[in-house]
Amino acid sequence: MNRLILALDVYEKERALRIARETKEFLWGIKVNWPLIIGAGLRIITELKQVTGLPIIADLKLADIPNTHRLIAKKVFEVGADYLITHGFVGKDSVKAVMELGETIIVVEMSHPGAKEFIQPVTDRLIELANELEPFGVIAPATRPERVRCIRKKLHKSIKILSPGVGAQGGKVGEVLKAGADYIIVGRSIYNAENPGDAAKNIWGEINANAKG
Ligand code: XMP
d(CA 57, CA 7): 9
Please list, in sequence order, all residues whose beta carbon lies within 8 angstroms of the beta carbon of residue 188, skipping any fewer than 6 positions away: 9, 167, 168
Catalytic residues: 61
pLDDT for residue 1 is more than 80: no
Span from the CA of 34 to the centroid of ligand 1 (angstroms): 11
d(CA 62, CA 131): 19
Nearest CA owner, ligand 1 atom 13: 110
Give 96's pLDDT tier (boundaries 50, 70, 90): very high
Q: Provide the residue type at 186 as one letter.
A: V
Radius of gyration of the chain (CA): 16
Nearest CA owner, ligand 1 atom 11: 164
Domains, the chain: 4-212 (3.20.20.70)
Atom of ligand 1 nearest to the CA of 166: 5
Span from the CA of 100 to the centroid of ligand 1 (angstroms): 25
pLDDT for residue 212 is more than 90: no
pTM assigned to the model = 0.97
Q: What is the mean predicted confidence (pLDDT) over 130-155?
A: 97
What percent of the chain clears pLDDT 70, i.e. is strictly above it? 99
How confident is the model at residue 172, as a pLDDT?
94
Q: What is the mean predicted confidence (pLDDT) over 171-184?
A: 96
